[in-house]
Structure 1
Amino acid sequence: MTAGHGQYRYRAKCVDCPWEGRQFIRYGMAEGSARDHANAYAHITFVVDQYDLRIAGSTIRPAETRRA
């Protein structure tokens, strides 16, 4: 099942604090939000889909953001 046109599907979440990013239609935008939070606070973040399920391979650790 796919989300309809214009529906939000992805958002970033933090493992270390209760932060949740805003919702985005595109995965890349949510991943950017997760990277920004990881950079700013040295927290581990990840991206979830519209069902609040973690996207495999979306975990971002603070050390990874420093290399980019």
Structure 2
Amino acid sequence: MTGTICGTGSYAPSYTMDNNDIAKLVETSDEWIRERTGVERRHIAGKETTVSMAVEAGRRACQCRNCT
């Protein structure tokens, strides 16, 4: 039995927060966060759930044009 990966999919929420947004919520700075984590911004789920994001990623994976 063999298998072939013919498509992959991903999804990230459209709402993002950068380090300056985070710094407004807690006592820190963009420089401090970036220096320690390497993170510049992050995607934040609002209305999305784990299931809805997985469904969308699955839909995108199924849009493969090379699959037979």
Higher helix share: 2
Q: Larger relative contact order (C-alpha < 8 A, sep ≥ 6)?
A: 2
Same fold (TM over 0.5): no
For normalisation by structure 2, the TM-score amounts to 0.27
Q: Which has the larger radius of gyration?
A: 2
- TM-score, structure 1 normalization: 0.27
